[in-house]
């Protein structure tokens, strides 16, 4: 059901020692009861992160996975491998995966299916590029990303889905969507889910905002009606900043 969620996407940062240091720094803080906190270290550090967080409510997520069960896919990681490492959540379709690794909505639909088949929670990311926003095409792009990537799943499967709207022009740029722009798009997303499914699904899904969320803007963004939290990049690499965001509801 709809929850306040803050997820830290560490991207390709932090070796094992740095991961342990950041997790130790995070463990100093109390996690508020009304917020689900997730961190997504790189693949090689998932097991140690899970071990370090076993007595904490902070959950560990992977940043990506392959859609196949197993096989000749050199360098790839399957859902079952993640599960066996104790990882039950995966980020799919981050804009960097879409841009640098050519992940399309169609491919992502198969990753979504694989995650759900393996009873994982998934964070489905999507969002328009600057060009789309300038052309006034942002709603169409987002609708397409939802329709082609995730709106094929069964109603009951939505309980394992978190959506993350991340306008590409706001990621790592220091430029955030205004709280009003975020709310406008989040409402559109919820309405798109409502049109395809029903009120229960639309009201039940948590929709995170991502793109240059920092301690000084989180409260205003999270204060919007249809924003249920954030997917945090840069600011997730510092425990104090990340925990300030976690406490911004």
DSSP 37: E
Six-digit token string for 217: 């803007």
**What does the CA dihedral 47, 51, 57, 62 come to, rounded to 10 degrees?**
0
Among 93, 149, 167, 234, contact with ligand PGA (rule: CB under 6 A): 234
CA distance linking residue 184 with residue 138, whole number of Å: 11
Quick note: the x/- pattern for ligand PGA over 5-34, rule CB under 6 A, is ----x-------------------------
**Of 19, 118, 212, 217, which lies in the binding site for ligand PGA, with binding defined by CB under 6 A?**
212
Q: For the chain, what is the radius of gyration of the CA atoms?
A: 17
Contact between 213 and ligand PGA (CB under 6 A)? yes
Q: Is 94 annotated in the active site?
A: yes
For residue 12, report the phi and psi dihedrals to the nearest 5 degrees. Answer: -90, 60
Binding mask 107-146 for ligand PGA (x = CB under 6 A): ----------------------------------------
CB of 7 to ligand PGA, least distance (A): 8
For 183-225, give the secondary structure using H, E and C. Answer: HHHHHHHHHHHHHHCCHHHHHHCEEEEECCCCHHHHHHHHCCC
Q: How far apart are CA 202 and CA 224, in angstroms?
A: 16
Q: Does 103 contact ligand PGA by CB under 6 A?
A: no
Q: What distance in Å separates the CA atoms of residue 199 and residue 8, rounded to the nearest whole number?
A: 29
Q: Which is nearer to ligand PGA, 41 or 233 (CB)?
A: 233
Q: Considering only residues 232, 243, 246, 248, which one is a binding residue for ligand PGA as defined by CB under 6 A?
A: 232
Alpha carbon 145 to its chain's center:
15
Q: Which lies closer to ligand PGA via its Cβ, residue 9 or residue 118?
A: 9
Residue with the CB atom nearest ligand PGA in the bound state: 233
Determine which one of 59, 94, 96, 103 is catalytic: 94
Footprint (CB under 6 A) of ligand PGA, residues 167-206 = 171-172
One of 67, 183, 233, 248 touching ligand PGA (CB under 6 A): 233
- For helices 239-246 and 16-27, what crossing angle results, to 10°? 50
User: Any catalytic annotation for residue 157?
Assistant: no
In the block, which residue shows the tokens 């967080």?
A: 53
Contact window for ligand PGA (CB under 6 A) among 60-68, 78-86, 178-186, 209-217: 209-217
**Interface residues toward ligand PGA, by CB under 6 A:** 9, 166, 171-172, 210-213, 231-235
Q: Which residues form the catalytic set?
A: 94, 166
């Amino acid at each position: 059901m709809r929850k306040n969620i803050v997820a830290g996407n560490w991207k390709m940062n932090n070796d094992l020692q740095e991961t342990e240091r950041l997790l130790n720094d995070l463990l100093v803080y109390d996690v508020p009861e009304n917020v689900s906190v997730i961190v997504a270290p790189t693949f090689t550090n998932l097991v140690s992160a899970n071990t370090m967080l076993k007595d904490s409510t902070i959950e560990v997520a992977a940043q990506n996975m392959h859609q196949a069960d197993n096989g000749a896919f050199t360098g790839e990681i399957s859902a079952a491998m993640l599960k066996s490492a104790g990882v039950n959540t995966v980020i799919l379709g981050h804009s960097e995966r879409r841009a640098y690794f050519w992940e399309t909505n169609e491919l992502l639909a198969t990753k979504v299916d694989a995650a759900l088949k393996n009873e994982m929670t998934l964070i489905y990311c999507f969002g328009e590029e600057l060009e789309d926003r300038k052309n006034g095409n942002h709603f169409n792009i987002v609708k397409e990303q939802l329709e082609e990537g995730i709106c094929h799943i069964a109603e009951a499967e939505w309980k394992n889905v978190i959506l993350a709207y991340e306008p590409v022009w706001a990621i790592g740029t220091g430029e955030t969507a205004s709280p009003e722009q975020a709310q406008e798009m989040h409402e559109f997303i919820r309405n798109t889910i409502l049109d395809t499914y029903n009120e229960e699904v639309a009201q039940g899904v948590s929709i995170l905002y991502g793109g240059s969320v920092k301690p000084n803007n989180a409260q205003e963004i999270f204060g919007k009606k249809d924003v249920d939290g954030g997917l945090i990049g840069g600011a997730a690499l510092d425990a104090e900043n990340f925990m300030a965001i976690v406490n911004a509801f």
